[in-house]
Amino acid sequence: MNYNKKTIEDIDVTGKKILMRVDFNVPRDKATGAITDDRRIAETVPTIRYLLDRNAALILCSHMGRPKGQRKEELSLLPVAARLSKLLGAGHEVTFCSDIVGEEAKAKAAALKPGDVMLLENIRFLPGEEANDPELARELASMAELYVNDAFGTAHRAHASTAGVAKYLPAVSGLLLARELKALGGVLTNPAHPFVVILGGAKVSDKLGVINNLLDKADTLLIGGGMAYTFLRAAGFGIGSSLCEEDRLEYAGEMMKKAASLGKRILLPIDHICAESLEEGASPVTIPGETIPEGLMGLDIGPKTGELFTKCIAEAKTVLWNGPMGVFEKTAFSAGTWDVARAMADNGGVTVVGGGDTAAAAERFGYAARMSHVSTGGGASLELLEGLELPGVACLQDKE
């Protein structure tokens, strides 16, 4: 995939009427509907400011949750308009349009003046969005003269507002999407070596494509988290009652063979933090060595593995991390994930954290600001790391 896409800095945006896809799918309090974390809104502010400073008029479009093509008031974007107004500061009142592509929306879009910002209602209230309906894409496009995609979190979806619309308007990326492509695309295409990739999280099956794509590019793969036990079992070790994907044992074995034939290293845990179960009150024990005794499950990498991984990360010039090393949500099983996050924060090279749970862990432990890049997209960053084409990126104009 070509990651080198035109951005709003490469074209003249002055005075333009712009349809901009953003990812304002922010977490909300179930009872009150209040926004509990506005990071996704804040991340788009630099792009919005850049465009407003150049007298553009903005029509913002986003989804929220999964309304499945129906209007659901609890998934309205109305509260987001107020929060964005606050983040943009005085002089930038964001108007909210409860219509999406009807007469009302079109009239309001036509009346926008330079410097105005309007947020459309949740685009997934319309069934045509997820169906990538060309008619909906054309209706959206008819309100503007330029399309800007700044929604990395939904760039792996071929929907009307993320990809379809680009057939009808010149299309470029916003500053947030450009930053994601530069960081993630950079480690894929031109990593400084040694290049260390750390993979964890619950399942091997979620990371098959990533392992396959990165084994050729990385020098060392560090594997922790629930997925490590399938690899340990494939290597012949006992893993007690730890997570194991029987149907992936063969693949894990093949990957280890492939690594050896390419002269790459795959490092697995050499000790573990285990417990009898994940139930409250089950006491954690440290198990030295690779083998986990019957009756115990591995729930975090052990201290020796933490040291080993820390050393590898310290020697790397590029580090990419996706997936926690253990059940980091519980303090007793979070040390390994801390170790990796700390080692990356201390590394002076390029450090890139995939989105989702891994970004949440880096944030929670206070290390996010010391990474080169923390991705805002979980599914999108995984697909990109698998080497797949993201429809929301592929549809944008290439740089010359």
Which chain residues interact with ligand AMP by CB under 6 A? 201-203, 206, 225-226, 243, 298-299, 323-324, 326-327, 329, 357
CA distance 311 to 198: 13
- Cβ distance to ligand AMP smaller for residue 57 or 184: 184
- Cβ distance to ligand AMP smaller for residue 35 or 332: 332
Q: Which two three-digit tokens encode residue 4?
A: 């080198």
Confirm whether 71 is a catalytic residue.
no
- Cβ distance to ligand AMP smaller for residue 96 or 367: 367
Confirm whether 356 is a catalytic residue.
yes
CA distance 200 to 306: 13
CA distance 379 to 65: 15
Is residue 24 a contact partner of residue 165, using CB atoms and an 8 Å limit?
Answer: no
Q: Which two three-digit tokens encode residue 264?
A: 């790459």
Least distance in angstroms from the C-beta of 110 to ligand AMP: 44
Confirm whether 342 is a catalytic residue.
no
CA distance 232 to 298: 11
> For 41, phi and psi rounded to 5 degrees?
-70, -45
CA distance 334 to 225: 10
Least distance in angstroms from the C-beta of 392 to ligand AMP: 22
Q: Which of 356, 377, 378, 392 is catalytic?
A: 356
Q: Residues 249, 316, 216, 340: what is their CA dihedral angle, to the nearest 10 degrees?
A: 30
Least distance in angstroms from the C-beta of 361 to ligand AMP: 9
Write out the DSSP string of 287-342. EESS-B-TT-EEEEE-HHHHHHHHHHHHH-SEEEEES-SS-TTSGGG-HHHHHHHH
- Cβ distance to ligand AMP smaller for residue 103 or 246: 246
Least distance in angstroms from the C-beta of 234 to ligand AMP: 16
Least distance in angstroms from the C-beta of 202 to ligand AMP: 4
Confirm whether 379 is a catalytic residue.
yes
Q: Which of 40, 108, 124, 233 is catalytic?
A: 40
Q: Which of 65, 253, 379, 387 is catalytic?
A: 379
Q: Which two three-digit tokens encode residue 40?
A: 């996704």
- Cβ distance to ligand AMP smaller for residue 271 or 357: 357
- Cβ distance to ligand AMP smaller for residue 131 or 243: 243
Least distance in angstroms from the C-beta of 92 to ligand AMP: 37
Q: Which of 6, 72, 203, 317 is catalytic?
A: 203
Is residue 94 a contact partner of residue 85, using CB atoms and an 8 Å limit?
Answer: yes
- Put residue 15 in one of left, alpha, beta given phi > 0 → left and psi -120 to 50 → alpha: left
- Cβ distance to ligand AMP smaller for residue 147 or 229: 229
The side-by-side arrangement of strands in the sheet containing 17-21 is 94-97, 117-120, 57-61, 17-21, 146-149, 171-173
Least distance in angstroms from the C-beta of 300 to ligand AMP: 7
Q: Which residues contact 224 (CB under 8 A, 6 or more apart)?
A: 198, 199, 200, 269, 301, 305, 309, 323, 324, 325, 326, 336, 340
Tell me the CA end-to-end span of the chain in Å, nearest whole number: 15
Q: Which two three-digit tokens encode residue 90?
A: 């005085």
Least distance in angstroms from the C-beta of 351 to ligand AMP: 18
- Cβ distance to ligand AMP smaller for residue 323 or 377: 323
> What residue number has its CB nearest to ligand AMP?
201
Environment class of 260 (CB within 10 Å of its CB; exposed 0-12, middle 13-18, buried 19+): exposed
CA distance 235 to 231: 6
Q: What residues are annotated to the active site?
A: 40, 203, 356, 379
